[in-house]
Structure 1
């Protein structure tokens, strides 16, 4: 099994953390994973995307052209990457900010991630709303593995944010 995932959005939306969480979760489960970040010229507000490859066998290239799955958080990223998903692939998109302008050749699902994150008082948790929805569909990892990964990346300095991200994740699972 090898899965390629592209995650794209504005800087500051949690694109990179989402990719890191997926890659680290794979390693916790004894799988191979590569995370490759790509930033636009700005850090916050500019475009950002990352590529994650997860496999049960060694990975020989960190890059790919077309992905199995696309998680897209904003309209400019949707426009840029909508044609880079394999025909049998899947796109999960932030329906709060993205309106599909054409019927994709692959499966897609919209989640009102911004609206759901705002409902728990943390607008920055849209990435975890989408992560919950993505993992509900793919069953790649369970919630406990995601929380372990989140604790690793947040450490003690951001430990107070774990509960709200867990809430966002659960909202995504229910979406």
Structure 2
């Protein structure tokens, strides 16, 4: 099994952190992992994306041309990275910030993560809500491994955000499990 994940958005949205948590959780599950961050020189509000590869086998390169899972938080990232998504891949996008034409990709799933994060009291938690939703949709990562991954980051900033991040991950799982229509915007299946 090898899964290639591409996450795109703007600096300050937690794009790189989301990828780092995915990589850490997969390592805790005993998988081989690469995490390849990329960001614009301006950081906050500039472009940001990262590529994560998870595999049972050794990984030859962190660089890939096509993704199995694409997660985007901005319209620009949607336009830039959708051509790299496999035909049968997952496209998850923040429907709070992106107006998506479902003809771009079948199976696209919009989740109103920014609005949900606002309800939790911190819009910076949108990335963790999306992470929980992506894990629930794909079945790729266990909830316990995600929690362990965020608990292992002992920086002062992350320790302050630990509680909200855990609640946000749980909210992502909950939205998918209940498919709450007010947050779960599109799902076009073929």
If the length of structure 1 is used for normalisation, what is the TM-score? 0.95
SS in 1 for 2:133: helix
Aligned equivalent of 2:2: 2
**Equivalences for 1:43-82 in 2 at 5 Å?**
43-82=43-82
| Cα deviation 1:111-136 (Å, max 9, x = unaligned) | 00000000010110010010011001
8 A Cα contact 2:18 2:131, kept in partner: yes
Aligned equivalent of 2:148: 148
SS in 2 for 1:158: helix
Aligned equivalent of 1:17: 17
* 1:144 Cα deviation from its structure 2 partner: 1.4
User: How far apart in 1 are the matches of 2:162 and 2:174?
Assistant: 18
User: How far apart in 2 are the matches of 1:154 and 1:143?
Assistant: 19
**Equivalences for 1:109-148 in 2 at 5 Å?**
109-148=109-148
SS in 2 for 1:27: helix
Aligned equivalent of 1:168: 168
8 A Cα contact 1:86 1:106, kept in partner: no
**Structure-2 change in CA distance of 1:147 and 1:80 (3 Å):** same
Aligned equivalent of 1:30: 30
SS in 1 for 2:83: coil
SS in 1 for 2:13: coil
SS in 1 for 2:103: coil
| Cα deviation 1:129-150 (Å, max 9, x = unaligned) | 1001100111112221111110
SS in 2 for 1:103: helix
SS in 2 for 1:48: strand
Q: How many residues were matched structurally? A: 175
8 A Cα contact 2:91 2:105, kept in partner: no
How large is the RMSD of aligned CA atoms in angstroms?
1.3
8 A Cα contact 1:4 1:54, kept in partner: yes
